[in-house]
Amino acid sequence: MTTLNEFSSCVAQYDPQALPVTAAQAIVRQWATPVTAVEHVPLHDALDRVLAADIVSPSDVPAHDNSAMDGYAFRSAVLAGRANSEANSVELTLAGKALAGHPFGGAVAVTECVRVMTGASMPADCDTVVPQELVTRSGETIRFAASAVRGGANRRLAGEDLPRGSVALRAGRILRPSDLGLIASLGIAEVPVRRRLRVAFFSTGDELRSLGEPLDPGCVYDSNRHTLFAMLRRMNIDPLDLGVVRDEPAALEAALRSAAASADVVLTSGGVSVGEADFTQQLLQTFGDVAFWSLAMRPGRPLAFGRVWSGERPGLGLPALFFGLPGNPVAVMVTFYQIVREALVVMSGATPQPAALLQATSRELIRKRAGRTEFQRGVATRDARGQWQVTPTPSQSSGVLSSMSEANCFIVLEHERSDITAGESVDIMLFDGLI
Ligand code: AMP
Ligand code: MG
């Protein structure tokens, strides 16, 4: 068995104590293997699920040529040589009517036309629709200028949206509202999706109290479990809340093993730095496999990544990928979005998409040290010219969770970069769409 530890040491820039963010992301990506089980769910339950197989169109969509306008369908042969000539005026006799869902079944002569409404099947042999605004009608006689309409105009072709046999949606896609509509347009009511990823999480710390418990002196309410729950739910992942675990090696080991037994991924918060009560890293060295435990990143420097097993020794029992997130509430969110999220996307069976970055002008001086990637919290707005401007939130402390609620974006400050002066351009990652 290749251990994560052996693998990671071959990665360029490997420094387990201060790994650059891009190197950490590369390691994590390598170890994220997709779940394979497939479920067939009703269309509405498929929203935000990962498509497990290509959806192939069983028929042409639309099934028939149809009218794109309210007007009159006719055979374009009647236009031949007429436009801009003496005989520009076309005169046709009304032969009948077609509405959406009510086709016209008869034949249409070249001197005839059929009244059609948008979506109505094109009558046999007709290939063009003249919009009703462009005609004059007297009784059963329809007149219009040949120059007003080209042959083939205002007709939607069968298979124009999706030809029969074409791939409508590719496996690996996270299904969106338009996809549900598209699948319905094919007449398909059940969708093959990957099973949902199961992620177990718990908080560590003797100071943590759960909701409903009295807050003893020196204690804080556990917020990380609730943030984690919400971030996982937004990704349509099945969250398994294992509560608060005390800062005791035996309790921690038991919690990690039971988490590995019941989930694909285990997330913990707290206890990963080098304080006296920080046992996670130490434990992982003995009964797990650790790839790295410290990143050149802020917030989020202490972050352990590895594997754990439900058995007594590494390799025994059921495995799970492990992320030991920092304890500070902002650091939990930043490391989740920047390091954990992509692994969860891949493990869910989805094809990861690059994060959408926008360029913004910083309104203020931003202090930044070269040699680490920083994800500051910012408030971005668009100015009158449509340019993005960003202001860092007043607090950049990794313990101040209200800065995340106040912000609407991360300001991404790359590894090599140092102080940013007011007016300089920075990349921002908007929360909407990401979170
Ligand atoms: P640690 O990484 O365990 O040293 O924790 C760092 C800081 O984050 C400490 O101030 C902890 O009290 C705080 N913290 C750790 N876990 C949580 C949690 N689940 N909810 C809120 N704050 C936490
Ligand atoms: Mg702690």
Residue-range domain boundaries for the chain: 4-37+195-347, 38-61+160-194, 66-156, 358-430
Same topology for domains 4-37+195-347 and 358-430, yes or no?
Answer: no
Q: Identify which ligand lies nearest to the alpha carbon of 224.
A: 1
**pTM beyond 0.85, yes or no:** yes
Rounded CA gap, 46 and 173, in Å? 11
Residue 280 in contact with ligand 1 by CB distance below 6 A: no
Locate the ligand 1 atom nearest the alpha carbon of residue 222 and give its number. Answer: 20
Residue 306 in contact with ligand 1 by CB distance below 6 A: no
Ligand 1 centroid to Cα of residue 222, in Å, is 8
Task: Flag whether pLDDT at 384 surpasses 50.
Answer: yes
pLDDT per residue over 327-341, tens digit each? 999 999 999 999 999
Superfamily of domain 4-37+195-347 in the CATH hierarchy: MoaB/Mog-like domain (3.40.980.10)
Give the contacts of 200 (CB within 8 A, at least 6 positions apart).
Answer: 240, 242, 259, 262, 263, 265, 266, 267, 320
- Report whether 332 contacts 226 (CB < 8 A): no
The arrangement of secondary structure in 358-430, i.e. its CATH architecture, is Beta Barrel (2.40)
Rounded CA gap, 372 and 394, in Å? 21
Residue 222 in contact with ligand 1 by CB distance below 6 A: yes
Mean residue pLDDT across the chain: 93
pLDDT per residue over 233-292, tens digit each? 999 999 999 999 999 999 999 999 999 999 999 999 999 888 887 888 888 887 778 888
Give the contacts of 21 (CB within 8 A, at least 6 positions apart).
Answer: 295, 296, 297, 338, 339, 373, 415
Alpha carbon distance, N-terminus to C-terminus of the chain: 36
Locate the ligand 1 atom nearest the alpha carbon of residue 223 and give its number. Answer: 20
pLDDT per residue over 392-402, tens digit each? 999 999 999 99
Residue 208 in contact with ligand 1 by CB distance below 6 A: yes
Residue from 293, 328, 402 whose mutation best tests the ligand 1 pocket (most atoms within 8 A of CB): 328
The arrangement of secondary structure in 38-61+160-194, i.e. its CATH architecture, is Alpha-Beta Complex (3.90)
CATH number assigned to the domain covering 66-156: 2.170.190.11
Ligand 2 centroid to Cα of residue 223, in Å, is 13
Residue nearest to atom 11 of ligand 1 (CA): 327
- Report whether 368 contacts 419 (CB < 8 A): yes
pLDDT per residue over 13-63, tens digit each? 666 668 999 999 999 999 999 999 999 999 999 999 999 999 999 999 999
Residues in a beta bridge with 216? none
pLDDT per residue over 263-279, tens digit each? 999 999 999 888 887 88
- CA distances to 28, 161, 268, 344 from 316, in Å: 22, 52, 21, 23
